[in-house]
């Protein structure tokens, strides 16, 4: 992930299968999550037992998270 100029603080949902053969979880997920958290982003990270295809339970969790109201800034 190439660093770019940060604008705003969007929340980020990341999920990845522990047995993913397309992108290694050890190589990608922890460094990306760490980099985003270090930049003060709200990151939800979910690992699951599986390959590269996200199971419906994780998709449902992501949709619930994505559609929940965000707290207003005071």
Q: Of residues 33 and 74, which shows the higher confidence score?
A: 33
* Amino acid 55: pLDDT: 93
Does 31 reside within a domain? yes
Does 7 reside within a domain? no
Task: Tell me the pTM.
Answer: 0.72
Q: Of residues 25 and 14, which shows the higher confidence score?
A: 14
Total domain count, the chain: 1
Torsion region of 5: left, alpha or beta (phi above 0 gives left; psi -120 to 50 gives alpha)? beta
* Amino acid 11: pLDDT: 87
* Amino acid 34: pLDDT: 92
Question: In terms of residue numbers, what domain contains 19?
Answer: 12-67
Cα(45)–Cα(16) distance, integer angstroms: 8
Does 2 reside within a domain? no
Confidence of residue 74 (pLDDT cuts 50, 70, 90): very low
């Amino acid at each position: 992930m190439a660093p770019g100029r940060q604008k705003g603080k969007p929340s980020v949902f990341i999920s990845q299968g522990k047995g993913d053969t397309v992108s290694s979880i050890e190589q990608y997920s922890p460094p990306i999550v760490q980099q985003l958290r270090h930049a003060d982003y709200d990151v939800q990270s979910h690992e699951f037992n599986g390959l590269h295809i996200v199971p419906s339970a994780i998709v449902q969790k992501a949709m619930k998270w994505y559609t929940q109201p965000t707290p207003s800034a005071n």
